[in-house]
Chain A
Amino acid sequence: MTAPRSKSIVLWTFVISVLVLLSAPTIVVIGASFTSGNMIAFPPEGLSLKWYAKIAQATELWDAFLRSLYAAAICTIIAIPAGTLAGIALAKYPIRFATSVQMYLLLPFTIPLIGSGIGLMLVFGEARLLGQLWPVGVAVCVINLPFMIWAVSASAASLDPDLELAAANCGAPPLSTFIHVTIPGVMPGIISGSLLMFILALNEFLVSLLLVDARIVTLPVQIYNSIRSIITPDLAAVSVVFVACAVAAVFLLDRLVGLEIFLKSK
């Protein structure tokens, strides 16, 4: 079946404008990071790696990047057991008040980010935990947790329950069944979920902004603070670090589970 020409034209006009809209900032940031001039300009004033040499020596940027990595690691380490267990429980067991539990576990998405961030700031402030980095990891974990639960429960729902029964029938006790049958069965969900958690935690801006002080800024907050003063190409070079992380994450996600799973209807 060939589509009529007018349909193709309309469709492709939209798709190409969206592609440009989606990619323009990324491409421009990458381009700007290689400029040899001082101000960011178009057309570029020549190629150089001098801004990369400059950020290689900027210890505060590296420290901020390491802090972001640390918070993202904490977030992922908490999310994997919490989200996996919850996802399996939701998909495999008949639970009383299942709808209410699901609604409750979706609160991180239904409460606006600024509300969640302010609330967690007050809670951590009351507990005198502000000024440390690990509460940032916990907070970012809480606000993105539904991603992890959803990824695992989608995997668990497609896992044939007969497999576990077969294992039990062969004499495997409950824990062995869980470790050797259930967990490998939901592994695609665990992988895609934890990847999402890590990369979103690495980029998280607003909740970081609310929970950090000047001594423990994470990289997105550092960039935000700098672009409000003066725009120099070294920030573009730092931003390329984020672009590289995103490319790596997309590549991994595609290789491990395939990007196409996001297209499936349940």
Chain B
Amino acid sequence: MRQTPAAYPLTWRIMDGLEAFVAFAWPARLGAAIPWLMLAPALLLVGLLVIGLVQIGDVSFRTLDPSTYRMSENYTIANYQRAFTESLFATVATRSLLGALIVTVVTLVLAFPYTYLMVRTPNAMLRKLLLTALFLPFFIGQVVRAYGWLIILGNQGMVNEALGLVGVEPLRLLYNYPAVLFGLVQYMLPFAVLMLAPALSAIPEELEAAAESLGANWVRTFTHVVLPLARPGLVGAGLVVLTLSLTDFAMPAILGGGSQDFIANAIYDQFFRTSDQGLGSTLALLLVAAGSLLVGLVIALFGAGTLALSRVRR
């Protein structure tokens, strides 16, 4: 009897073969392991990071021998003593932490109205415009954005040229602390808005209408209704902005011009300028610890509910 190919096409035969192979290679009684099998590649990839942290930990206990430029064989805590006693690192850490706090507050203040309008506007075109304006810089990358600021704020940049037209002496707008913070705020805005958006769109518009119908003006409605309900989103966004700006490298490097180093820059310099891998690893490990401490602190203060949100969005 002649069987037409259309009746049982080749792709079906291949699928049959594959099904038989799967059934053979993975009998039903091992079914409970299937999710773990599916998770395996991702677990292995992230495992690289864990091995990396272990390596950092190992190197952090070795000191650099200045005569041979090799790392010592035996473990010491000398690097940790240096990290905590040398004033340079205290200065850098204070500068980073203070900067990150300022950046977080400014970013949240700027991001909140933007997010609010974005989720509340009935105008679909406006919403699309606001979203596009948000995603473009997010996708353009830090280096190009910092380069844009160099053109705008440089000594012969746009702002100074414009000031020159009205007879003002050129101002030194770059390579100082405010320039770095300014660049960081711009860098963090998309992260903050994207984390605030789900929290704000979860607030029912009727609640605001209710508050207003009870006689509250918009300022009172905002401080007594919107702001408290948005707290989980604000905490999540603040946490993300704080850790990302605390650990940033590019903005201090480009807009700070080497004089405004943050912790990440100090770590980089230990590895690539002084070649002291031990001290660099120590600083990196301390930074990782500080970051974890921040996350832990926020969970302890505000509950794990905030993390459920920050868990899925950076």
Contacts and interface: CB of A to CB of B under 8 A. Distances in A.
A25 B148 contact: yes
Interface residues of B, number: 102
Most chain A CB within 10 A, of B51, B143, B254, B280, is at B143
B24 to A, nearest CB: 12
A217 interface: no
Interface in B156-195: 156-158, 161-162, 185-186, 189-190, 194
A78 interface: yes
Contact of B19 (A40, A175, A200, A231): A175
Given A19-B133, A110-B292, A115 B144 contact: no
Interface string A215-252: 00000100110011001000110010011011101100
Interface stretch (A47-55, A58-66, A89-97): A89-97
B151 A231 contact: yes
A81 interface: yes
Contact of A115 (B53, B136, B141, B254): B53
Contacts of B19: 173-176
A149 B152 contact: no
A116 interface: yes
B48 A40 contact: no
Given A111-B288, A150-B313, A242 B144 contact: yes
Given A116-B52, A126-B55, A14 B154 contact: no
Interface string B136-157: 1101111111111111101011
Contacts of A120: 48-49, 52
B139 to A, nearest CB: 4
Contacts of B151: 25, 28-29, 32, 40, 231, 236
Contact of A264 (B42, B190, B198): B198
B39 A147 contact: no
Contacts of B114: 14-15, 18
Given A40-B156, A109-B314, A262-B197, A95 B35 contact: yes
B51 A123 contact: yes
A25 B145 contact: yes
Interface string B38-64: 110111011011111101100100000
Interface residues of A, number: 109
A250 B45 contact: no
Interface stretch (B2-10, B72-80, B83-91, B115-123): B115-123
B140 A113 contact: no
Contacts of A109: 314
A111 B50 CA distance: 10
B40 to A, nearest CB: 8
B209 interface: yes
B186 to A, nearest CB: 5
Given A3-B218, A93-B35, 6 more contacts: A28-B158, A105-B42, A105-B46, A206-B249, A246-B136, A265-B201
Interface of A: 1, 3-4, 6-7, 10-12, 14-15, 17-19, 21-26, 28-29, 32, 39-43, 78, 81-83, 85-86, 88-90, 93, 95, 101-102, 104-116, 118-123, 126, 138-139, 141-143, 145-147, 149-150, 154, 173-176, 199-200, 202-206, 209-210, 220, 223-224, 227-228, 231, 235-236, 239, 242-243, 245-247, 249-250, 253-254, 259-260, 262-266
